[in-house]
Amino acid sequence: MKSAGKAELYRQLPSVDELARTPQLADLAAAHGSPALVEAARDLLSALRREIDEGRHDQVGLQAVLVDLSDRVASQLKKNLGYSLRPVINATGVILHTNLGRAPLPTAARDHLGEVATTYSNLEFDLSRGERGRRDVHVDSLFRQLFDRESRSSGRELATIVVNNNAAAVLLVLNTLAEGGEVIVSRGELVEIGGSFRIPDVMAKSHAILNEVGTTNRTRVSDYADAINSNTRALLRVHRSNFEVSGFTEQPPLPKLAELSRLKGIPLVEDLGSGSLFDLRSVGITGEPGVIDSLRAGVDVVTYSGDKLLGGPQAGILTGRPDLISRCRSNSLFRALRVDKLIYAALAATILAYIRQDYDSIPAVRALKMPADEIRRRVDALLHQLPAGSVRFSMQPGESVIGGGAAPSSVLPTVLLALEAEGWAADEIIGTLRLNDPPIIARVENGKVLLDLRTVFPAQDSSIVMALSNLASAAKTPGQDRAAHPHS
Ligand SMILES: *Cc1c(COP(=O)(O)O)cnc(C)c1O
C-alpha cells in the first residue's frame, strides 16, 4: 500500500528537462546557461525523490512543493553557483585569526594582484635584456630597500626569497643547510603550531637530524657549544609563538648564540613565525621580536610568514646571508615550493607600504594601532542606532588579542559591544549571527555575546547594525518563531 503511494507521488514529478524548460526559468537559463540550470533541476528532483522515498511527503505536502518548484530550482541554482569561500565579518577581536584567513590584504595589494592576474607579466622575463629572468627579483629588491639601513649599519648584505608559507621556508632552509647532518635545537623550542607544524616532524622531513639540547625550561649557550660536533650543520632557534614559559627559565640571548655560530662557522637559523616589520613596542607590545631585531642580533637566515603580523598574502619568507639564501634558491625543493605571480604582486605591494611607512594602509597593522578610544566612539555610534527592547545592548571594556602565533600573552585594550536577550542563549545568538549575510563571527563570554570592532572594518559597521536590529526584532516575540533565526 505504502510503496504504491510512493509510486504515485514519483509520477507527479516532472522530468528534469520539463522542469528546466519551465518558462519562468528562461531568464535564469539565459543568464547562467542551460547546463547549469539542468544540473540544478536534476539536484532538486533527486532530493525530492529521496524525500518521497523516506516517506516525508504525502499527496498534500507534495502539491505544496510542486507549486513553487521553479522558485526552488532558482535557489538550488544560486546555491550551486555560489562560492563556498566568502567574506565574513571578524568581530572576534583576534587580529590574525587563522580560521578566518589571517591577515586581510591592503587594498594596494589587491589592486596590484588584480592588475597582474588577468594579463601577461614580466614574471620571469628581464625587460632590459630581453631574456629569461628570475621571479624572485621582484621582491628581493624591495626587501633590500626595506633592510637597507640595517645592511649599511652592519655592513652585511641581505637577500630574500619567498616560498609558499613559513612551514615551507623552514623545511627548505633545513634541507638546504643540514640534509644528512645535525641541527641543534633547544628542548624548550620544539614547538607545535596550528596542530600540524611540529619542529621534530619538519626536521625529519628535511632529512636533518635533530639534536636536542638543554631542558624544557632552561637552555644555556654552553649546551649548544657542548653539542657541536663535526656533523653539526646549523643551530636553530624557534620562536615560541603560541605559548610562554615562565618561572625558572633561561634562553640564551640571540646575540650570544650568533657569537657562538660565528666562532664555530655554523649558521644560525631562526624560525621567527610572525615576523613583524612594524615596531610593536610603539603599541606597547614587548617580547615579540621583529625581523630587524633578529637580523641585527646576527641571525644568518630568518624565516617568517607573509600573512601573520606582516599583513600580506600567505607566504614564507627567508631573509639572510646571500650565500645561504642562494643555496636555498638552488635547491630543487625551492621549485616545488615556489609561489605564483599573484603572491609576488600582493607581497610587493605590502612591502612597498612598509617602505613608505604607510602603516595604516596595512589592515593588520592598522588594527594593532587602533586606539581603544576610536573603538569606543564606533561602539557608541552603533549603540545609538540600535533599538531598545528585549535584546539589551551595552558597552564594556575588554581585550583584543593578536593571534596567529604572535605575542601570546600580549593583549590590546578594547571596548566591546555586548548583547544579551532574555530566554535566548548566547550560543544560539552567535549561531544566528553566523548565518547572517555576510556572516558575523562573534564570541561568548560569561553568557554574553561580545563583538570587538577592532577587527571589523568601519565600512562593515552598518552590516552589524542591520544584523543586530533584525536580531532585536526577532527577539521581541519570545516563544514564537524568530524571524531572524534560520531553521526555526
Ligand atoms: C606560524 C608559525 C609557523 C608556520 O607558518 P605558516 O606560515 O603558517 O606556514 C612556523 N613557525 C612558527 C614559529 C610560527 O609561529
The rounded average pLDDT for each run of 10 residues, N- to C-terminus, in the chain (488 residues) is: 74 94 93 95 96 93 92 94 95 95 97 97 96 94 94 92 97 98 95 84 96 92 97 96 80 95 98 93 86 96 96 98 98 97 98 97 97 98 93 96 78 96 93 96 96 98 96 70 44
Residue 271 alpha carbon to ligand 1 centre in Å: 8
**Measuring CA to CA, how many Å separate 14 from each of 7, 18, 51, 53, 70?**
14, 6, 15, 16, 11
Task: Extract the C-alpha cell encoding 308.
Answer: 601573520
Residue 154 alpha carbon to ligand 1 centre in Å: 27
The model's pTM: 0.90
- Protein residue whose Cα sits closest to atom 5 of ligand 1: 166
Rounded distance between C-alpha atoms, residue 235 and residue 451, angstroms = 43
Atom number, ligand 1, closest to the C-alpha of residue 168: 9
Enumerate the β-bridge partners of residue 96. 403
Residue 443 alpha carbon to ligand 1 centre in Å: 25
**N-terminal to C-terminal alpha carbon distance within the chain:** 33
pLDDT score recorded for residue 5: 86
Atom number, ligand 1, closest to the C-alpha of residue 316: 7
Rounded distance between C-alpha atoms, residue 238 and residue 271, angstroms = 5
Atom number, ligand 1, closest to the C-alpha of residue 305: 7
DSSP 381: H
Candidates 95, 164, 238, 241: which one to mutate for ligand 1, based on the most atoms within 8 Å of Cβ?
241
Residue 193 alpha carbon to ligand 1 centre in Å: 6
pLDDT score recorded for residue 476: 62
Please check whether residue 405 is in contact with residue 54, taking contact to mean a CB–CB distance below 8 angstroms.
no
Residue 279 alpha carbon to ligand 1 centre in Å: 20
Residue 306 alpha carbon to ligand 1 centre in Å: 10
Residue 166 alpha carbon to ligand 1 centre in Å: 5
Rounded distance between C-alpha atoms, residue 272 and residue 454, angstroms = 25
Q: How many other C-beta atoms are found inside a 10 Å radius of the C-beta of residue 110?
A: 15
pLDDT score recorded for residue 404: 75
| Three-state DSSP string of 407-461 | CCCCEEEEEEEEEEECCECHHHHHHHHHCCCCCEECEEECCEEEEEHHHCCHHHH
Atom number, ligand 1, closest to the C-alpha of residue 405: 15
Residue 197 alpha carbon to ligand 1 centre in Å: 7
Residue 239 alpha carbon to ligand 1 centre in Å: 9
Residue 238 alpha carbon to ligand 1 centre in Å: 10
Residue 363 alpha carbon to ligand 1 centre in Å: 20
Atom number, ligand 1, closest to the C-alpha of residue 314: 7
Rounded distance between C-alpha atoms, residue 332 and residue 43, angstroms = 46
Q: Name residues contacting ligand 1 (CB within 6 A).
A: 165-167, 193, 197, 238-239, 241, 271, 273-274, 305, 316, 405
Enumerate the β-bridge partners of residue 316. 163, 305
**273 φ/ψ sector (left φ>0, alpha ψ -120 to 50, else beta):** left
Candidates 305, 308, 317, 402: which one to mutate for ligand 1, based on the most atoms within 8 Å of Cβ?
305
Atom number, ligand 1, closest to the C-alpha of residue 241: 15
Atom number, ligand 1, closest to the C-alpha of residue 307: 7
With b for 16 or more beta-carbon neighbours within 10 A and e for fewer, the 276-305 pattern comes to: bbbebeeeebeebbbbbbbbbbbbbbbbbb
Atom number, ligand 1, closest to the C-alpha of residue 406: 15
Q: One-letter amino acid identity for 59? A: Q
Atom number, ligand 1, closest to the C-alpha of residue 306: 7
- Protein residue whose Cα sits closest to atom 1 of ligand 1: 273
- Protein residue whose Cα sits closest to atom 3 of ligand 1: 273
Please check whether residue 182 is in contact with residue 211, taking contact to mean a CB–CB distance below 8 angstroms.
yes
pLDDT score recorded for residue 409: 72
